[in-house]
Amino acid sequence: MTVGPSVGNKLHGFQRAIAEYSKAKAHAKRERTRQDALYAGNDLIHAVQQMKERFETERKEGELFFIDDQIRPPFHLSKRLSVPVSFRWRASSSADWKHGHLTFVYDFSPQPSYTLPLPKRKPSAAQAARDLEDSLYREWERLKAQALFSMREFFRDGGDGDAVPEVFAVRPSPHGGGLNNFSCNFWQAERPAL
């Protein structure tokens, strides 16, 4: 089990607070730094407890399903983005594993950003191509994260791997397009526009 960033940060804070406490000479400063060290210690204990709970949850889930999150981006990205997700599942920890595969497909339509100032001159074709590639890569990473989250949520809620389609056309947000938290939820009927 690796130490998560929260635990690492809390440990560093605790070590810093202990170092400050050991350097303090005056009674008032010594008392203040002692309190700081106690608070930092409590924060560290809480972070370790959360990590242990997360580890236990993931261990139990690992007995029933596994989602392969080692997905590499394609060498060439187009506006039709796809993320293939492989997984395995079983009904109980004594049942045989079944394997599945779902490809999330998304037609990306870049929207202009009105928050950035307009460039003084039109970018060159090469710069425009680089900008589009960067935009496609960022959107592919977003799609991958959403796809993995949706798969985990599906299985955590008791979903049956036999009900997973082979291909799912991602639903853009009805409010301006793009991905939202529900775009990759293949098990939910399309949400009506509000």
pLDDT digits (tens, 9 = 90+) for 134-163: 889 999 999 999 999 999 999 999 899 999
Q: Strand 80-89 relative to strand 98-107: parallel, antiparallel, unpaired?
A: antiparallel
Same domain, 107 and 119: yes
Lowest mean pLDDT among 60-74, 157-171, 179-193: 179-193
Same domain, 49 and 74: no
Task: Name beta bridge partners: 81.
Answer: 106
105 part of a folded domain: yes
Q: Which of 15, 36, 62 is the last residue of a domain?
A: 62
Q: Residue 87: phi, psi to the nearest 5? A: -155, 165
pLDDT at 121: 77
| Segments forming the whole domain that contains residue 111 | 65-169
- CA 139/CA 180 separation, integer angstroms: 12
Those residues with Cβ within 8 angstroms of residue 39's Cβ, 6 or more apart along the chain or in another chain: 17
pLDDT at 123: 73
**Which residue reads 């890569």 in tokens?**
137
pLDDT at 1: 47
Mean pLDDT of 44-65: 88
Same domain, 91 and 41: no
Is the model's pLDDT at 194 over the cut of 50? no
Q: Count the domains in the chain.
A: 2
46 part of a folded domain: yes
pLDDT at 193: 46
- CA 88/CA 81 separation, integer angstroms: 23
Same domain, 51 and 127: no
Q: Smallest Cα–Cα separation from 46: which of 9, 2, 5, 10?
A: 10
Same domain, 73 and 86: yes
Q: Under a CB-based contact definition with an 8 Å cutoff, are residues 191 and 128 in contact?
A: no
DSSP 161: G
pLDDT at 192: 46
Lowest mean pLDDT among 11-15, 76-80, 126-130: 126-130
Q: How far, in Å, are 8, 80, 87 from residue 164 at the CA level?
A: 37, 21, 10
Those residues with Cβ within 8 angstroms of residue 54's Cβ, 6 or more apart along the chain or in another chain: 4
143 part of a folded domain: yes
Same domain, 37 and 132: no
